[in-house]
Amino acid sequence: MVGLMIGLWLGGPLSIILCTFVGAVAGHFYDQANALPPEDPTEGLRERFEPPGLPEPLSRAALDDEAQEHFARHLCALFIEVARADGEVVRDEVRVAREYFQNELKYGPEALHLVRGHLKAFLARPPHLAESIAACREELPTADRLLLVDALYQLALTDGPLQRSEQETLRQIAQGLGLSEEDRRAVATRYLAVDDSQYARLGLTPEATDAEVKRAYRQLAAAHHPDRVTHLGQGAIEQATRRFHEIQQAYEEIRRLRGL
């Protein structure tokens, strides 16, 4: 429009055409310089194909509850395995297991309800012991593992003297938990007290190995057997019999403690 007006002012058709062309070119560059930026062609696509948001993370409380239930299941497996070791599970053994969760782990009513469910399930179907031992070893520090073995000994003795099968199960669990034999014996001594005099009767100390205990017993039992002194008369036989019984008693007490 500006070019047309200038052409009319200058006069002549040629001037009109020339000025109109120049004005059109100038207007084109002006429009380009001042034009609004074009719309983003991907704006609609972005909304349509935006990936879904990540799910809300579980709260710390929810994670703690889930971990607690998972851990409780493995602990229950250990308690039931010890309770079953002598072939029979009695009510008092289940009570000891529940008290461990309530008194030592401070489980509340809801958590204890889950514990009862796990105990009942494992009574019906034996647990996978190796898996549960490994989980407890990973989760518990050494001091807590010692407390756990302590509680397992309490449970094993609930229905009477410790049986060989129970002793072997306790040994297996303690070893799987990464406890040394000395640690296990230290716990066992609280419930199966064997004083140093029992070892002294075999000429040993409490630090003796299992092999040394067995060897000392065999040697002393053979040396003091009453049959070896029958030719010396009744007095010698009675004395040898008393000594032989002392050796047997000492060995049985040590064997019971160590699960030999």
154-175 pLDDT, tens digit each: 898 888 877 888 888 999 999 9
pLDDT in tens, 36-63: 445 544 444 344 444 444 444 433 333 3
pLDDT average, residue stretch 136-157: 89
Between CA 227 and CA 221 the distance in angstroms is: 11
Please state, in angstroms and as integers, the Cα–Cα distance from residue 258 to each residue in 29, 90, 92, 168, following that order.
Answer: 100, 24, 25, 9
How far apart (Å, rounded) are the C-alpha atoms in residues 168 and 158?
17
pLDDT, one tens digit per residue, over 187-217 is 887 776 666 778 888 888 777 888 888 998 9
% of residues, the chain, pLDDT over 90: 13
- CATH for the 196-258 domain, from 1.10.287.110, 1.10.10.10, 3.30.450.20, 3.40.30.10: 1.10.287.110
Residue ranges per structural domain of the chain: 66-191, 196-258
What average pLDDT does range 17-22 have in this prediction?
46
pLDDT of residue 131: 92
Q: Per this entry, what is the length of the chain? A: 260
Reported as a pLDDT band with limits 50, 70 and 90, residue 20 is very low
pLDDT of residue 24: 53
Nearest to 218 by CA among 229, 232, 203, 236: 203
In whole angstroms, what is the distance from residue 253 CA to residue 198 CA?
A: 7
Global pTM?
Answer: 0.57
Cα 96 to chain center, whole Å?
20
**pLDDT score recorded for residue 41:** 46
d(CA 101, CA 113): 11
Question: Which has the closest alpha carbon to 220: 203, 197, 242, 238?
Answer: 203
The span from the CA of 145 to the CA of 184, in Å, is: 10
More confident residue, 147 or 189: 147
Is the domain spanning 66-191 CATH 1.10.3680.10? The answer is: yes
pLDDT at 183 (0 to 100): 85
For residues 220-233, give the mean pLDDT. Answer: 81
How buried is residue 127: exposed, middle or buried, by Cβ count under 10 Å (0-12/13-18/19+)?
Answer: buried
Highest averaged pLDDT of the listed ranges 22-31, 146-155, 180-189, 192-201:
146-155
Please state, in angstroms and rounded to a whole number, the distance separating the CA atoms of residues 79 and 73: 10
Single-letter amino acid, residue 31 = D
Mean pLDDT confidence for 71-100: 89
pLDDT of residue 80: 93
